[in-house]
Amino acid sequence: MINWPAFIKLDGDHELLYIASLEQLQSESHDLIVGEQDCIIDAKGHAYSLLTYTTTELLERQQGIYSLEDVTQLIRAHEFHKVQVCLTKIHFVTIEEAIESLAFELG
């Protein structure tokens, strides 16, 4: 079971897409063209196959867990490509806090 919030990580792209709920995932996923390595990463660091979800609407958990450091690095790369935030100031206490930081981009 996915722990919300989460974010979508597309392979080969530094852009991350914040997803607050299953309903938002259902809405956002219809417009995505996904590949085998694309995934959704939840607040506990678990990754789920996005390709499986778009074809079956089942979230198949992938092996391994993203650590807080892994998630922080993804967010730093995301912010670096936007050139809007000083990367040395990006620090988080939990994965959930890191994911929630992406929600501020929606406003």
Stretches where the chain sits below pLDDT 50 are 106-107
What pLDDT does residue 17 have? 92
What's the CA gap between 3 and 28, in Å, rounded?
Answer: 17
What average pLDDT does the chain have?
85
What pLDDT does residue 4 have? 96
What pLDDT does residue 106 have? 47
| pTM as predicted | 0.77
What pLDDT does residue 107 have? 43
What pLDDT does residue 58 have? 84
What are the C-alpha distances in Å from 75 to residues 13, 31, 37? 12, 22, 18
Residue 50: burial class (beta carbons within 10 Å; 0-12, 13-18, 19+): buried
